Amino acid sequence: MRSGDGCTENIRPGEKDGATRGPTTSPDQPAPQLARVILTIALLGYLSVTVVNLVGVDHSTFALTASLIGMVLIFLLQLRHSSATARRAPTWQKWVTLGTQALLTYLPIAAFHSQWGAMAGFLAGSLLLLLPGRRAWFAYGAVGISMLIPPVMERLPLREAFYLCQSTLLTGLVVYGLSRMAELVRALHDTRVELTRMAVTQERLRFARDLHDLLGYSLSAITLKSELIHRLVPTHPGRAMDEISDVLAISRQSLADVRTVASGLRGLSLEQELGSAQSLLSAADVKVRATIRLGKIGQRVDTVLAAVLREAITNLLRHSRAGVCDIEAIQEGGLVRLSVSNDGVDPAYRDSSPHSGSGLGNLETRLRAVSGRLSIARGADGTFRLTAEAPAHLIGGVPDVDDDIYAQDSAA
């Protein structure tokens, strides 16, 4: 998602964060309004059949006017029955509207006979839409069979009776199908909108996590080294110049991190972060004891564990007065365990700032995404231990599909 130019690009659900983006609706997918228009046109088309049948026979002006009013009422009732709200209406309300439509369907048959029979298809469709289960299909069939009666009473050929029955059942299915299609298109549209909102929310959370993990560490390092430079300038200007070079390098890397974080392809290396952590802690006069036994690690897991190490070192520098820090990164039996502990935590410490951070929560989210887990232990003597465990390579339900992408980005 980009919003710097005042517009927002929607992200397709299911795609990788920061990967391909595109519109949330396809131009060849019918919108809810179009589906409703198709339904309305189909209903008007069936009404026109009845109009042609009535006009083709000699009827009085009063009868034709009454039939037109009846067709308009049936049309309005059918539009209501074809809406999603009608399916959720109280049972008594359904029976009232269905009863009204049944009266408007069968009473005019006494005057117009078979010419009015096309209206029965609407009633058959409404019964399928509003009645539950088997009762709907039984009532639907009963309406179709009832249309055998008018042609027989008029002594019309048997084929006319069959035609009216068959056309009634077919009309009912068309009305039912188009009504359900309009409802399903609306549900699909609403679902896609909700999925788009969720995708945008996930992208924002990812962006916030990446910024926190990348910049929190870098800014802490810059602050620490700047304080060290301030102390070294009067007495050790040569070493101060070396530290300034380090600050410039960290600053440039931070700028590059900010530019790449939006793409979601930022890869980290645990081994590289271990070296940076030891250098940074040494500059802060913290004694480092490191135990590192690592083999080949999947790039996604490598990136997540590197982010865990960054957050652990950032918290150590911000929230503790550690003199000794133990770092263990051990790979055994397909499992990688990273442990960071220090001896400088104040048991009474509480971060009272309004934005005290969500780093540990971010790490838990990242580790769960690679089938890992995070544990924290605080000792009464002021010790603090953070341990992260994850499989060295993702298999099964969480394939390590991003290794090549992350590797390319890390190499860049």
Helix (H, G, I), strand (E, B) or coil at 149: helix
Phi, psi for 377 (deg, rounded to 5): -135, 130
pLDDT per position as a tens digit, 256-289: 666 666 555 456 788 888 888 887 787 777 888 8
pLDDT per position as a tens digit, 132-171: 888 999 999 999 898 888 888 888 888 888 888 988 899 9
Helix (H, G, I), strand (E, B) or coil at 382: coil
DSSP string, 165-212: HHHHHHHHHHHHHHHHHHHHHHHHHHHHHHHHHHHHHHHHHHHHHHHH
DSSP-derived letter for residue 15 is S
- CA quadruple 170, 171, 172, 174: dihedral sign: positive
- CA quadruple 82, 88, 93, 98: dihedral sign: positive
Q: Tabulate helix, strand, coil % of the chain (nearest 5).
A: 65, 10, 25
Gap between the Cα atoms of 11 and 123, Å rounded: 44
pLDDT per position as a tens digit, 47-64: 888 888 777 777 778 888
CA distances for 294 relative to 232, 275, 410, angstroms? 36, 13, 18
DSSP string, 302-366: HHHHHHHHHHHHHHHHHH---SEEEEEEEEETTEEEEEEEES---TT----STT---HHHHHHHH
- Output the CA torsion 186→189→194→195 (10° steps): 140
Q: Which two three-digit tokens encode residue 1? A: 């998602």
pLDDT per position as a tens digit, 230-260: 888 888 888 888 888 888 877 777 766 666 6
Q: Which two three-digit tokens encode residue 13? A: 């659900």
- CA quadruple 271, 274, 276, 279: dihedral sign: negative
Q: Which two three-digit tokens encode residue 278? A: 């030891």
- Reported as a pLDDT band with limits 50, 70 and 90, residue 25 is very low
* This prediction's pTM: 0.49
